[in-house]
Amino acid sequence: MMGYTIPMGTGGHRTQGGGAPQGTSALGRVFRPLGISAPSFVLPFFGFAFMRAYNDGVARCFSEAPFGSQWAGEDLYSLVLLAVFLGCALGARRIAPLYRRPAVVALATGLAVLGAALAGIAADGRWGVVPLVGAMGASGVAGALFILLWAELHSCLTPLGIVTYVSGAFLFGSTGAWILQGLDPVRQTLVLAVLPLVSVACLRKSFARIEPVDLPRASWGRYDFPWRLMVVLGVYELAYGVREAAPDFQWDAYTLGVIAVAAVVFSAACLFSRRIDFALIYRTPFALMLCGLAMVPLTATFGAFASDLLVSSGYALMFLVLTFLLCDLSHRYGVSVLVLCGVEELTAIFRLIGHQVPEALASGALPAVDGAAVSVGLTVLVVLASMLLLFGRSASEPWGAAFFGVGAMAAESDERGQIVERCAELARAHGLSAREREVLELVALGRSSTQIERELVIANGTLKSHRQRIYQKLGVHSKKELRDLVDVGDGA
């Protein structure tokens, strides 16, 4: 697979007014001698971290619920999430974008607070399962809605912004959830009730900073859904679910795995943002998952923690990578994230199926095999699925879109999608670089020089150089000739 690199500047988000954000002064002074760019941050964009901590916190509460099976509580909570994701994906054309519906935002916030309160009451143990079931329903609906609301926000960002703020949210959210575990039940309930309030405040501030042209759209054309992408994630979900349900699974390994991979990606986006080798990130989940599964039969030698850490890291990184890709596809082609990320979240059903495998083997519902055989079977599945990543055709499209079979996603889509697809064809035919293709696409979409400079975080001179090379390669001499070549009408 050819490496697709993202040549980035110090920014990574599109905001109203002003030019590109400059590097944070303190960080800039520290890293400038090393040739490393340190971006400034729009702090509200990290607000998803509060809901990550909330979702992980309530999920841990439900996993300890007295339902007779180790995973029954968390799986029931996950089923509520999945039901909401399915409903939103099916009804996306009617309800998208969610952020424009104040009633939905208010409902999500109220249910999240109610779910935290009911979970606190259930923890007391004197009220039976009624408050617990109520907490699952309320927090499950709220959690799913908040995930989709924040996905809409992330789909407004540049590729670097997506990587930075999504990985940062996973890093800070998982760290917060880990800290939350050490609190007593009363303090834990209070914190859980406050988290969604802070998150929704950040969400409102974040959307207020997005330029209108980049906001999620209410309608979109036809498109080819990236099913192969979901197959890969589904296999990883299944493998992780089987391992997670094993009696010797180390819970802390999952939390540390998420924190570790999110920290690495976040640090790379912040400190080495000018060129990120995304091909390396694509390959890494496969290596981590494969090594983790291979170590399962050797737990007596290496211990279960090392294996579980690798498996958890591979699963978490794959989920992160595909989230990056889907948010970028949503912005690039105009398709709602309620469809793309909603279906991505639905692959969690395979994790729930994986939870049943060890119990089915123990009860005789499945043919009796030892743990080593299960590990070998899962390894084969992971290898077959990961061949899509390692041995597919060239990922010359941004974010590997062609790699997952979505290079022609806009073939029957709306005007914006058709322009993006036409630019991709010209870039391939005339040998444009990744950055030149980005400039071509933005010019064809009618962006001004100032908007392009701010979005790509480049200087005016750099933009002129890119535009001159594009003109030379395409054989045109003006912006009008270029737009005619792309076949863009005056209303684009």
Residue 126: CATH number of its domain: 1.20.1250.20
287 shares a domain with 323 = yes
Task: Indicate if the pLDDT at residue 8 is higher than 70.
Answer: no
141 pLDDT tier (thresholds 50, 70, 90)? very high
The amino acid sitting at 52 is: R
Residue 14, in any domain of the structure: no
Give the residue, 207 or 361, on which the prediction is more confident.
207
Strand spans (E) along 377-454: none
Q: Quick one: 397 and 424 in the same domain?
A: no
Domain match, 439 and 346 both: no
β-pairing, 5-6 vs 276-277, is antiparallel
451 in a domain, yes or no?
Answer: yes
Please give the mean pLDDT across all residues of the chain.
77
pLDDT in tens, 216-233: 888 776 666 667 778 888
List, for residues 253-311, the tens digit of each pLDDT value: 888 989 999 998 898 888 776 555 555 666 677 667 767 666 665 554 456 777 788 88
pLDDT higher than threshold 90 for residue 108: yes
Q: Which residues are registered as beta bridge partners of 276?
A: 6
Question: Do 424 and 411 touch, CB atoms closer than 8 A?
Answer: no
Last residue of one domain, picked from the residues 341, 375, 404: 404
Based on the fold, state whether residues 369 and 246 are members of the same structural domain.
yes
| Most confident option among 29-43, 302-316, 398-412 | 302-316
Can you give the CATH number for the domain in which 425 is found?
1.10.10.10
More confident residue, 16 or 364: 364
Shared-domain flag, residues 288 and 363: yes
Instruction: Among 6-15, 59-68, 239-248, name the one with the lowest average pLDDT.
Output: 6-15
Q: What is the pTM of this model?
A: 0.79
- Residue 3 in any domain: the answer is no
pLDDT at 169 over 80: yes
Cα–Cα distance, 359 to 342 (Å, whole number): 29
Q: Is residue 7 part of a domain?
A: no
CA–CA dist 343, 409 (Å, integer): 16
In a domain, 15, yes or no: no
User: How far apart, in Å, are the Cα atoms of 367 and each of 223, 364, 370, 426?
Assistant: 42, 6, 10, 55
> What's the domain count of the chain?
2
Core vs surface per residue 326-359: b (16+ CB within 10 A) or e? bbbbbbbbbbbbbbbbbbbbbbbbbbbbbbbbbe
Q: For 473-477, what is the mean pLDDT?
A: 88
Final residue of a domain: which of 377, 404, 431?
404
Instruction: State the Cα–Cα distance between residues 93 and 390, nearest whole angstrom.
Output: 35
- The range of the structural domain enclosing residue 469 comes to 414-486
Answer yes or no: is 19 within a domain.
no
Q: Give one DSSP letter per residue of 335-387, joined into a string.
A: --HHHHHHHHHHTHHHHHHHHHHHHHHHHTSS----HHHHHHHHHHHHHHHHH
pLDDT bracket for residue 87 (50, 70, 90): very high
